[in-house]
Structure 1
Amino acid sequence: MVRFDRYMLSQLLWLFGFFALVLVAVFWINRAVQLFDRLIGDGQTALVFLEFSALGLPRLVTTVLPIATFAAAIYVTNRLNNESELTVMMSTGSSPWRLARPVAVFGLISATMISVLSHVLVPLASGQLSERELEISRNVTSQLLTEGAFLTPTEGVTLYTRSIREDGVLLDVFLADRRTPNERMIYTGTEAYLLRSGDTTSLIMVDGLAQRFTPSNNRLSTGKFQDYSFDITSLMTSNKVVKPSIEYLVSTQLLRDWAGIAAQFNTTPGVVAEELHARIARGVFCLVTALIGFATLLVGGYSRFGVWREIVIAFLILVALDGMRSSLSGPVIEDARLWPILYLPSLIGAVIVGALLFVAAGAHGVWRRIRRATP
């Protein structure tokens, strides 16, 4: 029997890895397209795109793991049913409760993975991602300029640069300012530099030409300059600091003094309690997810018409329980003492699993008595 446990657990883990890889790839490609357009369009390199993708992976994997756990439990149970392996094991005296043991171990492994992600990796990666986004937004060259393209950082202003040297010098710069009514200004320069002094950012243009056009009288005035400073501080729209959030704290920092943490982050103790226990409940629910998939198909047994009905039932049970999880966050945020209700969906799921295994065990006992009574 121990050999069968290892065999079934290996099948579950192999299929779990396969489904997780496929789902992560699908979800990542969907998000990567938008991220690629935003970063590369702003002048960032492919390395920055890869860094942002890596920092977003822990949260993405956390979303995918429960789905992969459910899919693996459904697939393996259905295959073992179709190949009569579960039937053979039950005919030798193994009860459904005993057969659920490798599935429970598999659920614990999946729950451990999602717990490590939720408690440690996701908060750290989210905090690092916010800091990198702030650094990118403060990079004036990346935010405002892209080689060989006309950009409009704000209404009425157009910027163009032919190329950017490795030392940050802008070559052949064009700037059009149409923000002043009844006046159009155009500046061109062979070189330009971006200088930051405190909260002020200036574009220093060298060896260029300034042109002013007044539409009211159709007058065009031109003048050459050796150097000209253009204040572009108003064009910068980036945030100054990363906003503190309890989402960036690992769970060990949320275990004590909820009132103190709430005061530090300008929130309520209920928000802190909900954040901590939602992470724990996420791992517990992953264990229940695996057992629901196994128990539902085990009750259905083998059918030459397939097990789509049982799969749909198991899926609807999970959707209902997951919807319940979302609705329970509000009361906990209002009152931190209500945090135990966050585990109610997992408890209900465990009761459902127990009921399904009890039904399967009853049917198995009846089948064994009939077999013994048969001459």
Structure 2
Amino acid sequence: MGSIDRYIFRTTLASFALVLVSLTGVIWITQALRGIDLMTSQGQTILTFLGITSLVIPALVLIISPIALMISISHTLNKLATDSEIIVMNAAGLSPIRLFRPFLYATCVVAALVAFIAAYLAPDGLRRIKQWDAEITADVLTNVLQPGRFAQLDQNLTIRIRERQPGGLLKGIFIDDRRDPKERVSIVADHGTVVKNEGGSFLILEDGNLERFEAGKRDPALVAFGRYGFDMSKFNKGHDVTLGIRERYLWELLAPEESDQTYQQLQGQFRAELHDRFMSPIYPFAFAALTFAFLGAPRTTRQSRNFSMGGAILAVFGLRMAGFACSVLTVKSPLAAVIQYLMLAGAIGISFWIIIGGVVIEPPAGLIEAINRSNERILRLFGRPAAA
């Protein structure tokens, strides 16, 4: 790799990293704000909150990476054009296809990253989120007991807590237990914590009073306690996790078990997800080739690049939207996946034909004249003389 190649390669990857981190950070923040109740209503720490919400980042990077690559290539080409470096390289005998080489190297790096995320990292993060969510949902102490509300855990068992504090501390606990027809137990405790061990889940109450009403007796028995354990194990459901299609690794999609009920019911969605994983590392090549085809040709500083930039954005956007549509159709028809492969191959092939031929994509002359006439009418409307 020559000095020019290293310069363009470093500039492209540096821009890609900056755009990727920026876009992913913005979208991650919007997603993370939805789970802010982890620290409030469920008594989780900030580290737990950040750890759980960060598991979705690989799935975001998988979608954002091709777009970030397109933006970074556009930025690098505009920088080279603004400094007239593309003109100088072309005059020195550097062909457009030769100039595309360092961009191709950068695209290979991005495609390798996307392939690894699609095959392993993104599904691994999503399945960890699902497993954690299943544990939270199965645990009645964190899912049902909400501050300030009476929770009916059983037909004859009611629990209320006043508030949750950091570290899982529960304040102002009230329990009304009427499950035993021979007696009724009411418990009031200042605070308590949840303890889980091999024996089950227990609500450890501290500094409270226990009032027991036994059938046939006039006066209740009142006991003050410093520490009391209330068994909650029977209210915790099992949390077997059924993995969805997006939570499966690539090899699990390639060879699913015939006895898998999810596969038996959703074979079309398995097929669509598998092809999406295969095509994920192809999209960076398609986006890079399309962007360079529109912006990579040498132009003078007097030639506007706005049309080329708009054309590159529309081409990339149209290709991705068509890919999403094909992914949806692949669920019912395998032919849609073939069309998507052909569409990507066609986009890459046409782009390379434009690059090799040195074709400059510019708007038709009639369109330019129409835009100029429209601008003149607008300027006259506002009383300003049109530029010569």
Same fold? TM cut 0.5:
yes
What does residue 250 of structure 1 align with?
249
Q: Which stretches in structure 1 are left out of the alignment for 5+ residues?
A: 178-184, 212-220, 364-375
The aligned residue for residue 77 of structure 1 is 77
Q: Name the stretch that deviates more: 186-195 or 295-304.
A: 186-195
Q: Greater shift after overlay, 326-335 or 94-103?
A: 326-335
**Would the alpha carbon gap of residues 267 and 204 (structure 1) be closer, same or farther in structure 2, given more than 3 Å must change?**
same
Query: What is the total number of aligned residue pairs between the two structures?
Result: 342
**CA distance in 1 between partners of 2:187 and 2:15 (Å):** 62
* Alpha-carbon separation, structure 1, partners of 2:45 and 2:350: 51
Q: 1:171 to 1:314 in 2, by over 3 A?
A: closer
Aligned match of 1:367:
none
Q: 1:160: which partner in 2?
A: 162
Q: Classify the secondary structure of the residue corresponding to 2:296.
A: helix
C-alpha distance 117-261 of structure 1, shift in aligned 2 (>3 A): farther
Query: Which structure is higher in helix share?
Result: 1
SS at match of 2:189: strand
For residues 356 and 152 of structure 1, the distance between their equivalents in structure 2, rounded to whole angstroms, comes to 69
Residue 151 of structure 1: CA displacement? 4.6
How far did residue 208 of structure 1 move? 3.0
- Higher mean Cα deviation, 278-287 or 349-358? 349-358
The 1:153–1:24 alpha-carbon spacing in structure 2 relative to 1, beyond 3 Å, is farther
Superimposed CA distance per residue, residues 272-321 of structure 1 (whole angstroms, 9 cap, x where no aligned partner): 22212211201101111122122211248344475232222111111111
Contact preservation (8 Å) 2:329, 2:336: yes
Query: Is residue 206 of structure 2 the alignment partner of residue 208 of structure 1?
Result: no
2:32 corresponding residue in structure 1: 32
Q: Indicate the larger mover: 64-73 or 22-31.
A: 22-31
2:98 is aligned with what amino acid? R
State the match for 2:137 in structure 1.
137
Please tell me whether residue 343 in structure 1 is matched to residue 341 in structure 2: yes
Residue in structure 2 matched with residue 373 of structure 1 by the alignment: none
Cα gap change, 1:64 to 1:269, in 2 (>3 Å): same
Counterpart check, 1:128 vs 2:128? yes
Could you tell me which amino acid in structure 2 is paired with residue 254 of structure 1? L
- Cα separation, 2, equivalents of 1:195 and 1:101: 60
Quote the Cα distance in structure 2 between the aligned partners of 1:262 and 1:321. Answer: 34
CA contact (8 A) 1:153 1:235 kept: no
Please say if residues 297 and 360 of structure 2, whose CA atoms lie closer than 8 Å, have aligned partners that are also in contact: no
Given that residues 290 and 347 in structure 2 are in contact (C-alpha distance below 8 angstroms), is that contact kept between their aligned partners in structure 1?
yes
3-state SS of paired residue (2:246): helix
The amino acid of 1:208's aligned partner reads N
Q: Any idea what the Cα deviations from partners look like across 1:27-84, whole Å, max 9, x if unmatched?
A: 2222222222444432111121121133111112112211210110000011111111
Given the superposition, is the C-alpha separation of residues 285 and 261 from structure 1 closer, same or farther in structure 2, using an over 3 Å criterion? farther
Tell me what 2:308 maps to: 310
- What is the RMSD of the two structures over their aligned residues, measured on CA atoms? 4.1
Residue of structure 2 aligned with 1:286, choices 270, 284, 287? 284
Partner AA of 2:209 in structure 1: G
Kindly indicate whether the alpha-carbon contact (under 8 Å) linking 1:107 and 1:290 is maintained by their aligned counterparts in 2. yes
- For 2:58, the aligned partner's letter is P
Secondary structure class of the residue paired with 2:258: helix
Distance 1:125 1:265 in 2: 21
Are the equivalent residues in 2 in contact too, given 1:62–1:114 (CA < 8 A)? yes
Q: Offset at 1:196?
A: 8.3
Query: What corresponds to 2:366 in structure 1?
Result: none
The alignment status of 1:52 with 2:52, answered yes or no, reads yes
Check 1:246–1:93 CA distance in 2 against 1; reply closer, same or farther (3 A cut).
same
For 2:162, the aligned partner's letter is Y
Partner of 1:15: 15
Q: Which residue of 1 aligns with 2:105?
A: 105
Please give the secondary structure, in 2, of the residue aligned with 1:351.
helix
Residue 121 of structure 1, CA deviation: 0.5
TM-score (norm 1): 0.75
Match of 2:215 in 1: none
Q: Which residue of 2 aligns with 1:357?
A: 355
What secondary structure sits across from 1:86 in the alignment? helix
Q: Distance in 1 between matches of 2:22 and 2:170?
A: 44
| Equivalent pair of 1:201/1:233 in contact (CA under 8 Å) | yes
Match of 1:366 in 2: none
* C-alpha contact 1:159 1:176 (8 A) present in aligned 2: no
- CA deviations 1:312-343 (Å, max 9, x no partner) are 21111111111111111233222446543332
Distance 1:320 1:114 in 2: 21
The answer to whether the Cα contact below 8 Å between 1:274 and 1:329 also exists between their aligned partners in 2 is yes
Identity %: 23
* Distance change in 2, residues 1:31/1:243 (3 Å): same
Q: 1:229 to 1:7 in 2, by over 3 A?
A: closer
1:274 paired residue number: 272
Q: What does residue 117 of structure 2 align with? A: 117
**1:83-109 Cα deviation digits (max 9, x unpaired):** 111111111222212211111221111
Kindly provide the CA deviation profile for residues 14-39 of structure 1, in whole angstroms up to 9, marking residues without a partner as x.
11111112112212222222222444
Q: Counterpart in 1 of 2:371?
A: none
CA–CA distance in structure 2, aligned partners of residues 154 and 305 of structure 1? 73
Specify which of 259, 262, 265 is matched with residue 263 of structure 2: 265
User: Residues 361 and 77 (structure 1 numbering): CA distance in 2 closer, same or farther, change over 3 Å?
Assistant: same
**Counterpart mapping for 1:203-242 below 5 A:** 207-208=208-209, 224=222, 240-242=239-241
User: Does structure 1 conserve the Cα–Cα contact (< 8 Å) formed by 2:16 and 2:71?
Assistant: yes
Aligned in 2, Cα 1:261/1:322: closer, same or farther, shift over 3 Å? Answer: farther
